[in-house]
Amino acid sequence: MLIGAGVFASDAAASCGAVSCFVVIGSQQQVPQEGVLTINGMYNYTPMRLLSGTSGIIPAADQANQRLILDHHKETRTITQTYTLDMNYGVTDRFAVQVTVPYLKRKHRHIDGIGESPDEFGEDSHFSDNGIGDVRITAKYNVLPTLRNMLVLGFGMDLPTGDTRARDSEGQVLESSGQLGRGNVGLIGSIYQTYELIPHRLNQFAFGSYRHTFRNRDGYQFGDEFLFNFGLNLVTMPWLVITNQFNYRYLVHDNVRANLEQSAPPFAGTDPTVIDPTVMNRQVPNTGSTYFAYTPGFQISLGDLITSSWTEAMSVYFYAQIPVARDANDNLAQGTSFVFGMTKSFQLIKPGA
């Protein structure tokens, strides 16, 4: 039996990226036995703030009016809270279907139009929205189901179920990068591997994934995402697993269909100047990032700690994702994030029944 891998003024809106904490949670990545439904309920708290030495002055990608305005506003912060329901069902012992439904609460602030007022450094603007994000459906196949090994290949699809029309405090539609949904289908390929170094005591795991999202109806396309994770699980007691993992994310620049303009300097009191009126696909500066984190955590098997029908096949877990190295292109960067969660498995259909 494998050790469960630890647990995952202006009409131009802000170029505010929004990300989520990402960790490896074995009950998500693995393939359950035939007829078993594994449910994860997770809470994820992800703050984003400016790094020391960065200005936070970034472009505005006004997709509604097809304008890309350089040096338009100054970022302040973004806080995303995600409540996720993850359902992972074993169709056979080697094939599973997984459905992941996120509910997001997002708050964002920035100083808008820093060159459009002669007597103040922009206007404080804020945004908040709550709702379902993009639902992900994943098919997974375990190509190496041995006693000490597991190798799971996955192919998934993000459905555009999240809101893309939320407005900020000025009544303007926030740009795509700050919305709860991406606005179009995304395709995801993944690979999960685990090996028991010491049977029932110590195992290593690794997970990698790639996401490509197509351009949405507003002409905005999110950059491709690459995730790489590696870690170890140590069983210290029959009911307690200590996890240490490293997480790396690389995000490619976003792209928007727009003209190109230059915002006036602070306190200039003038409108942006058009550099190129041609509406075309343009890379959005200050998007794209790299993020490397160390994530310690633990998982408690309630079924091994407390004997009851309620705690059988049930675990709780906690992780703290601590940034080690970050480059956010002068934009907001993800800070220390937290994941709380619970896993429970149900035998819905007995094999051979």
Domain locations along the chain: 26-347
Determine the Cα–Cα distance for residues 258 and 261; give it in Å rounded to an integer: 10
Q: If you write DSSP's letter for every residue of 310-325 in order, what string do you get? A: TTTTEEEEEEEEEEEE
The pLDDT value recorded for residue 165 is: 87
Q: Is the pLDDT reported for residue 331 higher than 90?
A: yes
* Segment 276-294, tens digit of pLDDT: 999 999 999 999 999 999 9
Distance of CA 304 to the CA centre of its chain: 32
φ, ψ (nearest 5 deg) of residue 134: -80, 125
Please write the tens of the pLDDT for every residue from 113-158: 888 887 788 788 888 899 999 999 999 999 999 989 999 999 999 9
CATH class of 26-347: mainly beta
Q: What is the pLDDT at residue 11?
A: 34
Pairing mode, strands 337-347 and 135-142: unpaired
Task: Please tell me the pTM assigned to this model.
Answer: 0.91
Residue type, 228: F
The pLDDT confidence band at residue 334, using thresholds 50, 70 and 90, is very high
The pLDDT value given to residue 178 = 85
pLDDT at 352: 65
Q: Could you give the CA distance from residue 129 to residue 82 in angstroms, rounded to a whole number? A: 12
169 or 167: which leads in pLDDT: 167
Are the C-beta atoms of 51 and 325 separated by less than 8 Å? Answer: no
Question: What pLDDT is attached to residue 17?
Answer: 56
Q: What Å distances lie between residue 262 and 10, 61, 157, 177, 198, CA to CA?
A: 14, 12, 37, 20, 60
Going by their DSSP bridges, the two strands 202-213 and 186-198 should be labelled as: antiparallel
For the stretch 226-250, pLDDT in tens is 999 999 999 999 999 999 999 999 9
Distance in angstroms (rounded) separating the CA atoms of residues 275 and 195: 56
